[in-house]
């Protein structure tokens, strides 16, 4: 497990459309092919997005001049801008988190957006609506609070900045699929998935190199025994880019025979297992099934499952699903998401729990 995880991390920042992502794709596909010659690639195209070598920046020019730490929204438009910053409402991130939303106005027109995180450090996130023509930047809680205080005092806040991004209408994505078939399968196939792409600013050791390696190791284990049900292992691409890989699979494959789906999205540091689960009868069954489990004594069940990961296109089509994660907000979408011994230890803890959930029905 450690070796494959290190190799995956060493591929670098694996955002969609990059050579580093393709290097990770080949690494993981070779692992799938070692397990079974039936492994295959499911290629798809979508309106992709990426960053250029132009650094993105943001600063206040009045009432006092100061440089601001900032990240881009994945999907941000490209270019330089300047103007007056005004609070216009909220940016609802992944339909869950309400961030303060500011517009940059120049000559009465909106020329850029700035979103302020109400609580927490600076983090990159995704524009769920799709790629924008205008720059979209993010600031942390401290900067957000400072901006709001200036505006509440009646100050005229002027900003300028620049974003370096590009879009591509036919960006290539690639899901890696490993079907394992039972000799006399019970009804209802199981899907076990994890994404292997990353945000544009991180190697993604936790999110989601850890999940990709866990399900690859599980596929190795189960390929050597007798299966109750057919299982499709899927390493999804473009999860960070509005779940494009999961959408592609769910739209082009017949999923009517899927019993349930397990999504592994991050074995971070800590002792709290989050189970994003639905529909409710399936959640009840899972709660009762895992109540005596001692791998993670602290479990938090979230129903309906939050909308920020690859289970979503399947859940929307009526498939029972659960995401298993040890959520680590201090690593999520951060440059610091690199090799961590604590993450590796939780990968080893999470693996047997996923095996246990596979035997639920």
CATH number at residue 207: 3.40.630.10
79 and 12 belong to one structural domain = no
C-alpha 230: how far from chain center: 26
Provide the token pair at 311.
């289970």
- Whether 287 and 314 map to the same domain: the answer is yes
Classify burial at 228, counting beta carbons within 10 Å of its beta carbon; exposed 0-12, middle 13-18, buried 19 or more. Answer: middle
Beta-bridged to residue 236, according to DSSP, are 195
Residue carrying the six token digits 């039936």 = 38
Same domain, 220 and 315: yes
pLDDT for the residue numbered 193: 98
200 and 249 share one domain: yes
Residue 125 is inside which H or E element, if any? strand 125-126
Residue 310: how many other CB atoms lie within 10 Å:
30
Lookup: tokens for 349: 């803890």
- Cα–Cα distance measured from residue 215 to residue 223, given in angstroms and rounded to the nearest whole number: 12
- Per DSSP (E only), the strands in 145-187 are 158-163, 165-180
- For the domain that residue 99 is a member of, what is the CATH number? 3.50.30.30
Q: Mind listing the pLDDT tens digit for each residue in 46-86?
A: 999 999 999 999 999 999 999 999 999 999 999 999 999 99
Residues 280 and 199 in one domain: yes
> pLDDT digit of tens for each residue in the chain (361 aa)?
999 999 999 999 999 999 999 999 999 999 999 999 999 999 999 999 999 999 999 999 999 999 999 999 999 999 999 999 999 999 999 989 999 999 999 999 999 999 999 999 999 999 999 999 999 999 999 999 999 999 999 999 999 999 999 999 999 999 999 999 999 988 899 999 999 999 999 999 999 999 999 999 999 999 999 999 999 999 999 999 999 999 999 999 999 999 999 999 999 999 999 999 999 999 999 999 999 999 999 999 999 999 999 999 999 999 999 999 999 999 999 999 999 999 999 999 999 999 999 988 7
Q: 240 and 330, same structural domain?
A: yes
Residue ending a domain, choose from 122, 145, 163: 163
Do 235 and 327 lie in a common domain? yes
User: Which of these three, 136, 163, 190, is where a domain ends?
Assistant: 163
* Domain of 142, in residue numbers: 53-163
**pLDDT value at residue 360:** 82
- Domain count along the chain: 2
Residue 125 and residue 182 in one domain: no
Q: Which one of 129, 163, 197 terminates a domain? A: 163
How far apart, in whole angstroms, are the C-alpha atoms of residue 289 and residue 8? 33
Residue-wise pLDDT tens digits, 149-177: 999 999 999 999 999 999 999 999 999 99
């Amino acid at each position: 497990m450690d070796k494959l995880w290190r190799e995956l991390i060493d591929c670098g920042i694996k955002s969609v459309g990059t050579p580093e992502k393709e290097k990770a794709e080949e690494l993981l596909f070779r692992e799938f092919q070692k397990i079974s010659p039936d492994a295959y690639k499911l290629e798809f195209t979508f309106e992709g997005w990426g960053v250029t070598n132009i650094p993105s920046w943001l600063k206040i020019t009045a009432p006092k001049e100061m440089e601001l730490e900032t990240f881009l929204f994945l999907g941000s438009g490209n270019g330089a801008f300047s103007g007056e910053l005004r609070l216009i409402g909220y940016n609802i991130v992944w339909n869950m988190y309400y961030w303060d939303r500011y517009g940059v106005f120049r000559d009465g027109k909106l020329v850029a957006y700035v979103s302020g995180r109400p609580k927490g450090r600076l983090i990159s996130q995704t524009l769920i609506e799709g790629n924008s023509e205008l720059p979209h930047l993010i600031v942390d809680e401290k900067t957000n609070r400072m901006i709001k205080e200036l505006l509440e005092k009646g100050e005229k806040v002027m900003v300028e900045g620049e974003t370096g991004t590009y879009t591509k209408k036919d960006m290539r994505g690639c899901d890696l699929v490993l079907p394992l078939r039972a000799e006399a399968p019970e009804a209802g196939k199981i899907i076990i998935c994890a994404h292997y792409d990353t945000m544009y600013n991180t190697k993604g050791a936790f999110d989601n190199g850890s999940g990709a390696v866990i399900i690859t190791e599980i596929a190795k284990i189960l390929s050597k025994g007798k299966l109750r049900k057919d299982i499709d292992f899927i390493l999804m691409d473009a999860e960070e880019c509005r779940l494009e890989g999961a959408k592609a699979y769910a739209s082009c494959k017949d999923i009517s025979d899927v019993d349930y789906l397990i999504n592994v999205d991050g074995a971070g540091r800590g002792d709290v297992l989050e189970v994003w689960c639905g529909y409710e009868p399936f959640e009840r069954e899972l709660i009762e099934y895992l109540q005596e489990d001692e791998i993670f004594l602290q479990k938090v069940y979230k129903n309906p499952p939050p909308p920020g990961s690859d289970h979503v296109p399947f859940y929307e089509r009526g498939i029972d699903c659960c995401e298993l994660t040890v959520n680590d907000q201090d690593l999520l979408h951060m440059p610091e998401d690199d090799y961590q011994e604590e993450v590796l230890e939780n990968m080893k803890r999470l693996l047997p729990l996923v095996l246990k959930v596979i035997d639920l029905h």
